[in-house]
Structure formats: structure tokens, C-alpha cells
Amino acid sequence: MASIKKELSEYGLIPRKSWGQHFLVDRNILNKVIRTAQLEKRDIVLEVGPGLGEMTLALAHHVKKVIAVEIDPKLVEVLKEKTAESFNVEVIRGDILKIDFGQLHHQEGRRLKVVANLPYRISTPLLFRFIESRHAFSTLTLMLQREVAERMIAPPGGKEYGPLSIFTQSISDFSIPFFIKPSAFFPPPKVESAVIHMVWKERPQVDLEEEEWFRKVVRGCFSYRRKRLGNALKCTDIPLPPDIKGRMEKIGIDPERRPETLTIQEFAHLAEALRP
């Protein structure tokens, strides 16, 4: 892999902290990520924050098409120049948090695979967007902060357990194939990274029709994390019935419990019990 630092200098570019730019410089890690993604020639891949295009070009050798979304206008020009002869690469200048995933899915006529080194600044909100728009994707293979990956697999009872853990585990089979040292990036981040691989469950733990309400109830419970369940829910703006505690006791959930002690199945029962 060419010297990223040298290439950035040649193009007059400086990594921008405000956009969470950390460029992968380890070819071995790049190859491991691609193997983890289990790509096929017919696949269409969405790449987030392609940077200087090292992974973009590598992906293009393995799949039918790569759609690379980059917010930095200077990097977009570099990417277009470097991929000019890669006819299966489409570079889009845009904010991934505002991209219409449903439109991409419709445009390509099939579900996409996501392979990306996520900007640290937006990894958590973007994960929620991927989960909520999962009809547009078949798998996610992502590099992100180790602490975020550990929140995603956290079991009930600890401080790491929360909405991200619950939404991830309720709808996906999730794994962390390996971790990455800061030295694999330029500039090196202050924390370790992890590679995660997500495949959607055939039978999610929550019915699709109930999912939006389920998410509202879970977020409501954790919006006042230090409060007991009954009190936390009373403080939310969710349209809940007046007899919250009575309904909770009816399904065997003590209103005095803390949100982080409930299992996913208990949250599903709670959401059903609190439906207006």
C-alpha cells in the first residue's frame, strides 16, 4: 500500500478531525476486512468514507459495483481521478447520514453489502440508520471504535447495555472477527478499533409491525437511565396509557427495576403491554 501520508501531502490534504478521518494504512488489515465481508462477483457494495480509495479499488476487483460515498469535496476529486478507469465504481459526494438507502436499493434492484471504515464521529448514529433501513442491505462489515462494538454485544446488567445493544441483537447475528491497533491508521486514533460483521436474523426477536413502537419504548426507558423503569417512562413524551405500573406488574416486570436489567424479550413484552 502506498504511503498514505505521502499521498495526502502530494494532494495537499490534511486529515480532518471534524470528519473523523483516519486512513487505513495496513494492507493486511484491508485484505482481512474484504475476506470477512464474504463478497461475491454479483455483489453491490456501499462504502462509507472511502478516503483515498485504497479499499475502493480493492473492492472493485471482487464485486459487480462499488458505490463510494464521501463527504470531503477534495477527496471526491481525488477518488474520481483514481477510479476513472474502474468502470464499476460510482463516487458520490454526500453526507452518508442523509443518503436515502431505500432509493439506492431501488436504483440497484437488489440489496447492498456495506463494507466501510466508519468515521468515528458518526459511527453510532449511522449504525442506527443501517438497522432502521436494513431492508436495503444484506450484510454489514464495518471498522469502528472497539467501545462501540462492545456496546453492541453487551449483555443485560452492565453500563454498556443500552438501545444499541438491544436493537443490534434483536435483529442480527453479530460477530467481532478481530480488533485493530491504532497504528494501522493515519493519523492513529486514540483508541483501538474493531471489525464487526452483521447478518440479519431470519426471525427477529420483535415483529416488524411492532418494531417502531418497540424502539420508542426502549429509547424512552433509557432516556432517563438513572431512574427506575416506571418513573423513566412517565418522563417521556411517548403516548403511554395512564396505568403504566399496573400493566408492568401484570406481565411480571417490577416498575422499580433499572432499564439495563431487562432482557430483549422483556422489553418486547413491555412494549406490547404499554401499547396505547
Say whether pLDDT at 208 is over 70: no
Query: What's the average model confidence in pLDDT over 34-40?
Result: 97
Residue 259 gets which letter from DSSP?
A: G
Cα separation, 244 vs 234, whole angstroms: 8
Per-residue model confidence (pLDDT) at position 129: 97
Per-residue model confidence (pLDDT) at position 4: 78
Q: β-pairing, 23-24 with 89-93?
A: unpaired
Q: What is the residue type of 174?
A: F
User: What is the percent of the chain where pLDDT is above 70?
Assistant: 99
Residues 44, 110: contact at Cβ < 8 Å?
A: yes
**Nearby residues of 131 by Cβ (< 8 Å), 6 or more positions away:** 167, 168, 171, 172
Q: β-pairing, 193-200 with 172-180?
A: antiparallel
pLDDT band at 88 (very low <50, low <70, confident <90, very high): very high
Q: β-pairing, 112-117 with 44-48?
A: parallel
Per-residue model confidence (pLDDT) at position 3: 79
Residues 144, 118: contact at Cβ < 8 Å?
A: yes
What DSSP string describes 123-191? HHHHHHHHHHTGGGEEEEEEEEEHHHHHHHTPPTTSTT-SHHHHHHHHHEEEEEEEEE-GGGEESPPSS
Query: What's the average model confidence in pLDDT over 125-130?
Result: 97
**Nearby residues of 84 by Cβ (< 8 Å), 6 or more positions away:** none
- Cα separation of the two ends of the chain: 57
Say whether pLDDT at 1 is over 60: no
Say whether pLDDT at 13 is over 90: no
Query: What's the average model confidence in pLDDT over 197-204?
Result: 94
Per-residue model confidence (pLDDT) at position 17: 78
| Residue 12 burial by Cβ neighbours in a 10 Å radius (0-12, 13-18, 19+) | exposed
Say whether pLDDT at 209 is over 70: yes
| Residue positions counted in the chain | 276
Q: Please give the domain boundaries of the chain with CATH numbers for all domains.
A: 4-200 (3.40.50.150), 208-273 (1.10.8.100)
